[in-house]
Amino acid sequence: MHIVSVGGKYQVGQGHPLMVMAGPCVLEGYEHSLAIGKRAKAICEKLGLPYVFKASFDKANRSSVHSFRGPGLKEGLAILAQIKKDLQVPIVSDIHETIQVEPAAEVLDILQIPAFLCRQTDLVFQAAKTGKTINVKKGQFLAPWDMKNVITKVEEAGNHNLLLTERGASFGYNALVTDMRSLPIMRALGYPVVMDATHSVQIPGGQGTSSGGQRQYVPHMARAAAAVGIDALFLEVHDDPDKGLSDGPNMLALDNLEQLLTDVIAIDKIGRRE
């Protein structure tokens, strides 16, 4: 397995500690986002887990044109740059267009390719050309073995700092299901795997003009993935998910983060004995 470097700060992959990427779905302002990041970082430090702050500067795939999308590229990257400076941790956020790649790479430590865009050759290739760590979310429409084609695109750009994320597959209308076999299948392709335990319980478009979700199952998904074997855990967390401006129904309450990670660590230790 390739060992992936994140921000010159962490190593991810076989034999390295489980990395946590956690934060709000979308930036809801600097102070609010920073407060969430501070708490998440403190919890991870207490538990001995490497922490990466995550938040989107723009949610380009919202159900409705009227939905909150975030501050946008320029303001959003400025906020993320300040949070990175304040927290002294790596930052991950998603990009949606090739025009966003260069400015995003100046701030982000991990460029994230959204699931819907994982087959967009130009986007994946240009992101990989920056040399930054790339986190590709497996599309809801792809089998895990099909990610080998995405890997090839990244490698042909000369980049081997790649993470592969599971976030559920389409199972009929407005439903996702996670096949836990996908984690060892993707891991066998030679790169660290990430479990997105919050988007895996999303119900796309489930509320008509916005997505629904079943956040009560987030701990189940995270614990199950840890038992199967993962290298990083991706969680959208919020101090008050019911008031979150995006993905509230599937975000984990920040108050529940420490217990969840404690459980995941215990399971992860058992899995590493094998």
User: What pLDDT, on the 0 to 100 scale, is given for residue 59?
Assistant: 78
- Rounded CA-CA distance 38/44 in Å is 10
Q: Which two tokens stand for residue 80?
A: 């993320």
* Residue range(s) defining the domain that contains residue 240: 4-271
67 φ/ψ angles, rounded to the nearest 5 degrees? -70, 150
Q: How many other C-beta atoms can be found within 10 angstroms of the C-beta atom of residue 101?
A: 20
pLDDT digits (tens, 9 = 90+) for 10-56: 999 999 999 999 999 999 999 999 999 999 999 999 999 999 999 99
Residues with Cβ within 8 Å of residue 15, at least 6 apart in sequence: none
User: What pLDDT, on the 0 to 100 scale, is given for residue 63?
Assistant: 60
CATH code of 184's domain: 3.20.20.70
Q: Which two tokens stand for residue 146?
A: 């099909």
Residue 175 Ramachandran class (φ > 0 left, ψ -120 to 50 alpha, else beta): beta
The identity of residue 162, as a single letter, is: L
pLDDT digits (tens, 9 = 90+) for 155-180: 999 999 999 999 999 888 888 999 99
DSSP string, 218-270: HHHHHHHHHHH--SEEEEEEESSGGG-SSSGGGPEEGGGHHHHHHHHHHHHHH
Query: What is the reported pTM?
Result: 0.94
Residue 272, classed as helix, strand or coil, is: coil
Which residues of the chain fall below pLDDT 70?
62-64, 66-67, 205-212, 273-274
Q: Which two tokens stand for residue 159?
A: 């980049």
Give the bridge partners for 235, in sequence order: 22
As for how many domains the chain has, the answer is 1
